[in-house]
Each structure stands twice: as structure tokens, then as C-alpha cells.
Amino acid sequence: MCGVYGIIGKEAKKFKKNFDLMGDQISHRGPDFSGKYVSNNLLLGHKRLSILDLSKKSNQPISSFSNRYLISFNGEIYNYLELIKELGLKKTGDTRVLVQILEKYQLKGLSKLRGMFAFAFHDKSKGSTYLVRDRFGIKPLYYLKQSNHLYFSSEIKPLLKISSSINPEEKIIHDYLNFSLIDHTNKTFFKDIYQLEPGSYLKIDQCGNILKKFKWYNL
């Protein structure tokens, strides 16, 4: 299962207590390892559940070989063995394959992936972070913009702990109760908390601003 969570924004490091609280709320998603990356403008966490790859080398967040890129990933890349050959790597896990594919091809590399995934991909050089979700939205990813910071998590519960006001999104509740509609929009049952839509990504600057929303399967 695994869990992805983090905070992006100016002086995000000052919100370390909120970050730790978020991690506690999704600790059940990854009992095998808890990893953190802390910088002034990004707090990035990961809760790992080891299934296919049991190596400690695949603990996350994990950096690319160049150390420029960083990823926290929830999911499985089904064709990672094929991609290992394409990259000329020795046997390794799908997380390593994913970060190297993104380093080599950038976001155009997403079209090479066959799998289910949601992840945060950070460019240390440019300071930008991408939140990405698989084509069919099998793996969840939610976000909240508050106090000039963007919070994200694999579950809504950590964001409810962060939100200064929790109010219902009545239109979404209405759609669900009357038409059994769910996940038909990026809105959730809670105002100001959104889900990343299937097959899309957000580009976020180091100040927590959303610069771009894009359907990546068009790449």
C-alpha cells in the first residue's frame, strides 16, 4: 500500500510538527519503514510497505543517481523489468526504475509506465515538485492549500488534522446520495480538500503555488 505525504511552501521547515502529525495519521499504510526528507521549502515523507522489493536500498524518499531528483512513491510499476533493460540498470526495484525514467525522460517518461501509482517527484535544482497520479486513479492522492503552503497525502485524514476549518462540500454529498456519483470531480466531501484527478499532474513551485495542471496521458 505505502503512504506519500508532504508540505511545500516558503519556510515549510517551520511546520515540522504538522508534517510529523501527518505521518502519524498514515503510519498504518507502511509499517516497514518511515522515511523523511527535510529542506527549507519541502518536507517529503514516505511510509513503506515492502511487497515485491524487500531491499533497504529501496527505502524512500529515494534520490536519482545524479542526486538532482527525489521521489516518494506509492504503487507498482508492472513493466519495470522491461524498463530496467531500457535503462541498462542491474536488477533493482520499481522505485529506482521510476526515478531514473523520470530523470532521463522527464514527464514524457510517464507514457512508458504500466502500473498503478501516485507520487511526489521533486527537482532539487529548480525547486519544483510534481504530484502525479496514474491513468485510472487506482492510487489516491489528495491536497490542501492553506496558509501559503500546499499539503498533500495519500489519505484525507492527515489533511483534516491540518485544515483550520472543516466544512462539508454539500454539492459532492448531494451527488453521492442522490446519484451514487463519486470521484466524478476533483472535489471531495470536504471543502478546500481536493483529489488529484486520474492521469494528471500538478506542478508546484517552492512557494507552494500550483503553476500547472495537466493531463499527462496526452504527452
Count the Cβ atoms, other than its own, within 10 Å of residue 78.
12
134-152: b or e for each residue (b if 16 or more CB lie within 10 Å)? bbebebbbbbbbbeebbbb
Using alpha carbons, select from 41, 46, 64, 213 the residue that is nearest to residue 127. 41
Known catalytic membership, residue 207: no
Amino acid at 134: D
CA distance linking residue 82 with residue 89, whole number of Å: 10
CA angle 56, 60, 65 (to 5 degrees): 85
Spatial neighbors of 104 by CB under 8 A, at least 6 apart, are 87
- Annotated catalytic residue within 1, 2, 85, 141: 2
Q: Give every CB contact of residue 3 below 8 A, 6+ residues apart in sequence.
A: 23, 26, 27, 29, 30, 45, 46, 47, 74, 153, 154, 155
Which residues form the catalytic set? Answer: 2
